[in-house]
Structures are given as C-alpha cells and as structure tokens.
Amino acid sequence: DVKVTQSSRYLVKRTGEKVFLECVQDMDHENMFWYRQDPGLGLRLIYFSYDVKMKEKGDIPEGYSVSREKKERFSLILESASTNQTSMYLCASSFGQGYQPQHFGDGTRLSIL
Amino acid sequence: AQSVSQHNHHVILSEAASLELGCNYSYGGTVNLFWYVQYPGQHLQLLLKYFSGDPLVKGIKGFEAEFIKSKFSFNLRKPSVQWSDTAEYFCAVNQGDKIIFGKGTRLHILP
C-alpha cells in the first residue's frame, strides 16, 4: 500500500520564521505535489516536481519554495512565514504522465502566530 | 484558464436518498476529469476518473459520474447514500499538466 508521510500533523510557528514541511513517499513515484487546503477554496497547487531536482510552480507559489534532492522526499519551505500562510498543507504523489495526484498524505495543519 | 465549479457547498441528505453533486468546468477541448473524496479525519483519495471512452465512469463504493461534453459537466451520482458517505467531495479537471480542483462539496448524511 502506498504511503505518503508528512513529518508533522500539527505545527505552530511565529511570523518571520523559516518553516520546513517534509514529505516522504515509499513507492518510487516520479511526481510529487504540495497543495494548501482552505475552507471554501478547495485545494490550490503550490509547487510540483516531476523528477529529482526538478520543480514547477503551481498556482500560488509566492512565499514558498521547494526542494527535491531525493526521489522519495519533497520539502516545502516557507521562507518567512506570515499569518496568511496558516492553512492545511497536503503532500501528494503519483507515477507516470498526467500529473494528477494519486496518493495524499494526512496533511499538516500549520498555524502562524 | 480552466476553472471548476461545484455548485453545492453543503448538501444534507437522509440515508437511502439519491445523490447528485454538480461539477462544471469552463474550458473545452480534451479534458481529464476526476472526483476525489476526503472522509472525516482521513486523507484525500481518488474516487473515480475519466480520460476517454465511455462517458459513464464507475468508481469505488457505488459512485459513478457522467461526462457530458456539451454541458461541460461531470456530475457525481450515487443511487442510495449511506451514513458512511459523509465526507467532502472535490471535482478536478486538468489544465495542461496541472490539475485544477473545485472548492469542494461537504456532504452530510443523516442516519
């Protein structure tokens, strides 16, 4: 069974901090994604990666960066956290072309104070 | 740019009622369409998908969706819902290499 693991379920940080959200998948998937989920807004794509060291901006990349040094790990970085980045963050993975997320992690609920 | 509309934000039904959740997308041409579901406290999972062929797609747990190209629609249906179908449902459509999600519909089934 495919597993997408996000390092933290809940995280509280302060404005201006640099925040790292980690995601690991165990199925050798090429594609990995970071979304944020907000009530009434659905899921919005922040970044995705289709290979190691490759990344593409999604719809709302501002204020975020990503790192994919190894195939199984995709990190989301909030360079200088702000209160409007308080949200649920979802990592996902998939294989093959088409770039639709197939397997999701449980999410990280991030609060920026 | 592609967009996805889910018209019902919150739906409440009794058990055994029939379900139809609306989904419309804005941009024509070749599309891939998806429904995802998120049960309370669980991660998102793919319910069904349409790439080509038979426009009536069957998914897990008795759900189905019909792609109607002329109406730009991909509505989700289930003939008889159960309490365990309480969840949030997201329609999604591709825009090039990316998937665009709708805002979601919260479905609440009364026992």
Query: Distance between CA B25 and CA B1 in Å, rounded?
Result: 10
Q: In this complex, do A98 and B102 lie within 8 Å of one another by their Cβ atoms?
A: no
Which residues in chain B have Cβ-Cβ distances shorter than 8 Å to A99?
A: 94, 97-99
Cβ-based contacts of A25 with chain B (< 8 Å) = none
- Selecting from A41, A48, A100 the residue whose C-beta is nearest the C-beta of B94 gives A100
Where does the pLDDT of residue A98 fall: very low under 50, low under 70, confident under 90, or very high at 90 and above? low
Q: Is A51 on the interface with B (CB under 8 A)?
A: no
CB spacing of A45 vs B104 below 8 angstroms: no
Q: Where are the domains of chain B?
A: 4-110
Q: State the pLDDT at residue B6.
A: 95
- pLDDT of residue B66 exceeding 80: yes
Residues A67-95 have pLDDT tens digits of 999 999 999 999 999 999 999 999 999 88
What does the DSSP assignment read for B48-105?
A: EEE-SS-SEEE-GGG-EEEEEGGGTEEEEEESS--GGG-EEEEEEEEETTEEEE---E
Looking at domain B4-110, its CATH class is: mainly beta
Q: Is the pLDDT of residue A2 over 90?
A: no
- CB of A29 less than 8 A from some CB of B: no
From A105, which residue of chain B is nearest by alpha-carbon distance? B43
> Nearest by CB to A41, which of B34, B42, B103?
B103
Residue A105: CB partners within 8 Å, gap ≥ 6?
A4, A5, A6, A23, A90, A91, A92, B43
Q: CA of A85, closest CA in chain B: separation in Å? A: 18
Q: CA–CA distance from B70 to each of A3, A76, B67 (Å)?
A: 38, 40, 9
What residue segments make up the domains of chain A, in order of their start? 4-112
Calculate mean pLDDT across residues B20-45: 90
- Assign domain A4-112 to its CATH superfamily: Immunoglobulins (2.60.40.10)
